[in-house]
Amino acid sequence: MVWMTKVFSWLPFTDQESLPLQVASWTINQRLTFTHLPDLFPQKFLRFLHRPHLLVTAEEFVSQPAIIVDDPMAPEGKRLTFGGAAGNIMEMLSTIMNFTYTYMRSPDKTWGLLQSDGTWTGMMGLITREEVEFSPGPFFMDITRSHWIDYSPFVFMGNYQILAARGRPKVDPWGFLLPLRPKVWVAVMTALLAVCAVMLLLPFCLPTHMQEPHMKDANTFNCVRILLQEDIKSTKSRWWWDRVMLGVWMLMMVVLTQSYVGNLMALLAVRYIDQPYQRLEDVLDNSDVGIIVVPNTLIIKYIESAKSGPLHELGKLMGTNRVSYNKYAELANSMETIVRAATHVIFDLDINYTNMLPKSFSITGRCDFYLSRSVYATNPEAMVTQKNSLLLPRINTLSYSLVESGLYDIWMKYSEHNSSMCKNPPRIITVTTILSLTSLWGMFAVLGFGFTVAVVVLVMELVCGGARWGQKVRWPLKTHNTITITDHTYHRS
């Protein structure tokens, strides 16, 4: 009689009625013989032998739309699937690990939050109750969630940003001041005063009989005339030092004014696009702007638990008419309506904008929206499984491969046409157009202000002059070649 010992292994995800798989047999003559696998203790979760059917969960958001496809093998001939990176992940996992799958959506169609009774809603509830095996997510990594589920290595870093409507291109009416920085304007005025002081004081260093009193005022005003690009009065001075001073000042003003003119011409072709909300504080300070957030997400928990900072200030507005709640499927419609009208902004995860912005650009051909420079609640995002799931080691290996190969980034980049067109729209553009009064009213405002000041100074001179002389100021009386004012007679020049 030949005794034979058989070795069996239970395969994962098999029915209770299924028989175990024979792995090997042993006899005295043939010793140990492997039947189906080359190992007594095979890694049964690396690749399934019998292609089991798994239940998984996922949820729809802007970059991950729910899609109904035809499938003769599915009930009613229809099967639910998801687009975006999550759909690609599931196809990759099912091919490599050899399983089929069906999506199960949560009743409230959310990621899920912890309730006061210790239960979870949304997809978290499905996983913690072990109704599904895992989810491609993506899920924010959170310490509270980690007590109930297991995370894979993160596949990308998520940030919360503000999405708002861009302003229309406009000209800065005070652009004529921009070619020179304020410090340069101050330096020019200081240099003018210094040159005028030198031209006024240096003649006093000469002997009395060599001084030319009538030249002091002329040289001083010549410095101002050079700055204003006017012709200068001939000094007819016999001294070279004042000519050298005026020549150096003239050379400096030629360089300065030509630089100013060139930069001004370039700036007149510039249009500025207003992007006012670069921080959450900018939105909070404007009481006329509403804020759109997605309910039953982890960011709501962060906002409500924040003790300080902008998230704390936003938490104070929860429950008021300034905060609106939109599901992920509603964000695109809100962006094209109330956000485009500049009455609201969206505060959500940046991965959603990678789909919304390209679609808007494909329709309009313009980048009508922008993202804030400031980001909030930066957190890694990953896939999740049941606690202590035996699927996790294999999913971890594949997650590392996704990140290290850059495959996940490629999926995100090419998930939509024109995906990179509106990521960083410029705040300044150049155009070729005819200048209008609306573009140059700042210069006319300065001119009007100067006229007003001149009239005020004229009135003050007349009033103060009459009061000083102790007589009323009379209008000039013309008598031959003289003009008489009060008791003084002045010859015309």
Q: Is the pLDDT of residue 382 over 60?
A: yes
Q: Name the packing angle between helices 84-97 and 392-405 (round to 10°).
A: 120
Q: Which residues contact 148 (CB under 8 A, 6 or more apart)?
A: 120, 124, 127, 128, 387
Most confident range (mean pLDDT) of 203-212, 221-230, 310-319 is 310-319
Q: Is the pLDDT of residue 351 over 80?
A: yes
Q: Which residue has the higher pLDDT, 231 or 373?
A: 373
Contacts 24+ apart (CB under 8 A), 228-236: 229/253, 229/257
Find the mean pLDDT for residues 93-116: 88
Percent pLDDT > 90 in the chain is: 15
Q: Give the pLDDT confidence score for residue 493 in this predicted structure.
A: 46
Measured between alpha carbons, how far is 246 from 152 in angstroms, rounded to an integer? Answer: 77
Q: Give the pLDDT confidence score for residue 465 in this predicted structure.
A: 67
Measured between alpha carbons, how far is 23 from 35 in angstroms, rounded to an integer? Answer: 5
Token pair for residue 436? 């209008």
Q: Give the pLDDT confidence score for residue 365 in this predicted structure.
A: 84
Find the mean pLDDT for residues 40-53: 77
Token pair for residue 11? 């395969």
3-state secondary structure 232-297: CCCCCCCCHHHHHHHHHHHHHHHHHHHHHHHHHHHHCCEEECCCCCCCHHHHHHCCCCEEEECCCC
Q: Give the pLDDT confidence score for residue 477 in this predicted structure.
A: 45
Token pair for residue 65? 């739309």
Q: Is the pLDDT of residue 9 over 90?
A: no
For the stretch 239-294, pLDDT in tens is 666 677 778 888 888 888 888 777 777 666 667 777 888 899 999 998 889 999 98
Q: Is the pLDDT of residue 39 over 90?
A: no
Q: Is the pLDDT of residue 402 over 70?
A: yes
Nearest C-alpha neighbor of 381 from the set 408, 413, 420: 408
Peptide bond into 425 cis (omega under 30): no
Residue pointed to by tokens 């919360």? 160
Q: Is the pLDDT of residue 179 over 80?
A: no
Per-residue confidence band for 366, with pLDDT thresholds at 50, 70 and 90: confident
Nearest C-alpha neighbor of 321 from the set 291, 286, 280: 291
Measured between alpha carbons, how far is 8 from 28 in angstroms, rounded to an integer? Answer: 19
Find the mean pLDDT for residues 20-44: 70
How does strand 134-140 pair with strand 376-386? antiparallel
How does strand 100-103 pair with strand 53-56? parallel
Q: Which residue has the higher pLDDT, 101 or 480?
A: 101
For the stretch 442-468, pLDDT in tens is 777 877 887 788 788 878 877 876 655
Q: Give the pLDDT confidence score for residue 7 in this predicted structure.
A: 75
Token pair for residue 134? 């895992």
Q: Which residue has the higher pLDDT, 399 or 227?
A: 399
Measured between alpha carbons, how far is 316 from 295 in angstroms, rounded to an integer? Answer: 16
Q: Which residues contact 6 (CB under 8 A, 6 or more apart)?
A: 22, 24, 25, 26
Q: 192-203: buried (b, 16+ CB within 10 Å) or exposed (e) per residue? A: beebbebbeeeb
Per-residue confidence band for 484, with pLDDT thresholds at 50, 70 and 90: very low
Q: Which DSSP letter does residue 79 get?
A: E
Measuring CA to CA, how many Å separate 390 from each of 150, 190, 395? 11, 78, 10
Three-state SS at 229: coil
Three-state SS at 378: strand
Q: Do residues 8 and 44 touch, judged by C-beta distance below 8 A?
A: no
Find the mean pLDDT for residues 131-143: 90
**Cα 199–203–208 angle (5° rounding)?**
165
Q: Give the pLDDT confidence score for residue 473 in this predicted structure.
A: 47
Q: Give the pLDDT confidence score for residue 482 in this predicted structure.
A: 47
Q: Which residue has the higher pLDDT, 414 or 144?
A: 144
For the stretch 430-441, pLDDT in tens is 666 666 666 667
Measured between alpha carbons, how far is 299 from 378 in angstroms, rounded to an integer? Answer: 10
Q: How far apart are the first and last CA of the chain?
A: 146
Nearest C-alpha neighbor of 99 from the set 37, 13, 166: 13
Find the mean pLDDT for residues 295-314: 86
